[in-house]
Structure 1
Amino acid sequence: MNDHAGSALRDWRQRRNLSQLDLAVRADVSTRHLSYVETGRARPSPEMILRLCEELAVPLRDQNQILLAGGYAPAHPEHSLTDPPMADINAAIEAILQAHQPYPALVIDSRWELVTANEAAFLMLDGIPEDLLEPPVNVLRLSLDPRGLAPRIANLAEWRDHLVVRLRRQYDASGDPVIGAMLEEMADGDAVPHPSVVSSALVVPLDLRVAGDTVLSFVSTTTVFGTPREVTLSELAIEAFYPADEATRKYLNGA
């Protein structure tokens, strides 16, 4: 089994564009030993695997898989948000979502599936066909679906290009084949996004049509938990939307 662990570590090293010497220096191991590990000639300890994974910024889920391939038990626990050990984390997430009212905020996992959201976010989905909202809901696909949010997004081409860039960066970092498939699906074979309009805006807004001709403009932030040691927690992100102009702020505050 160790050759599989070694080849996985080699794949991650190459994904990070590091030479064996670069990684050996960072992890304080000899280049020869690292070479033996990658070819399966030496069996790394679980501590060595985790040290190399740390230097390579390997996601916790993948670290567990590499440990299993090396014949060891996973090092990082995984729970559902509803499990007792996650009660405090779940409470923190709910507090963040509720405190963000009346502005939309939602929680997604590493594959863009909706975990939970506040009331303002669900209001943005009002009128979407029910079959598109059957769990699991992929937020990225929903936003670009012709039956989903796409017709409501006033700057759809710009927003789509923003999502493609973000997805490409995520794939480069994670190597997740599901993300790779989503990227191929969204990019339509284009090598790079090509925004049709060059904007002077500081960030790419989400311009969303609501009642009548009203367009709400949002900027978004992404929040992740610092130094997570649990798989589910490491894969969660809170997407919070803020008014990008005074008209949107007044509309959402009922002014």
Structure 2
Amino acid sequence: MKIGVIGGSGVDDPKIFDSLETIKMHTPYGMTSGFLNIGKINERDIVTISRHGDKHSYNPSNVNYRANLWALKELGVTHVIAASAVGSLRDDMRPGDFVFVDQFIDRTTKREQSFYYGREVCHISMAEPFCSKLRMILKASASSLGLRFHGKGTIVVIEGPRFSTKAESNLFRSWGCDVIGMTLVPECVLARELGLCYVSACMITDYDCWKDNIVNVEEIFFTMKKNASNVNKLILDVISRIDYLECECRTAIKNSIM
């Protein structure tokens, strides 16, 4: 068992690794968007990668999601925890809260959604897009740490890099979406095609513009920095709790290829 962590969560801090090797991989889908940190944390085998690059140089449309996920799989990763910043579409989901989403609505338009272009046709099931057993561990960890969290929710994933209009934000609310982000699709889809157990720890950084506030990067990064230690504590606690899990994520591809 090997655990992958995606997103600049702070878990890639060399100081917390018992041993560490840093590489950048060339894959059949190009270079990974960031360096891969390979090592051990509390005797657990860990690989971390920053999806936006090591200096946050890739916007969500330009991240090489296929290379990143392929590299994790090639390095033996079996479970993936993805940290993501999101905006809230609900009054009761406040900045600083965590949301462990269980569904998504895809509004992306420019991204490679599959590993199966040009060869077999793959129709992967995404009825339950996130690993339910890993999500249970996230909830247990957040509860034990006393963090504010929501155990499920629907995320709408937009193309970006621009933020939503008020009309769009209110439309997404009318659809029943709880939070809005830019990175989980196609990341979770590609993970499912590779048989990886994938879950997302979404941290709310702001209210989306439906709430008559103007979303800005400064506010988002302020909230991220303020809550970075909580993200770090959560992921480290989850890592300590993950054991071999029997779930359908690993075999989903078997009945999906024509």
Same fold judged by TM-score > 0.5?
no
> Which has a greater percent of strand?
2
The alignment's TM-score, normalised by the length of structure 1, stands at: 0.24
The alignment's TM-score, normalised by the length of structure 2, stands at: 0.23
Structure label with greater radius of gyration = 1
> Which has a greater percent of helix?
1
Higher RCO (C-alpha under 8 Å, 6+ residues apart): 2
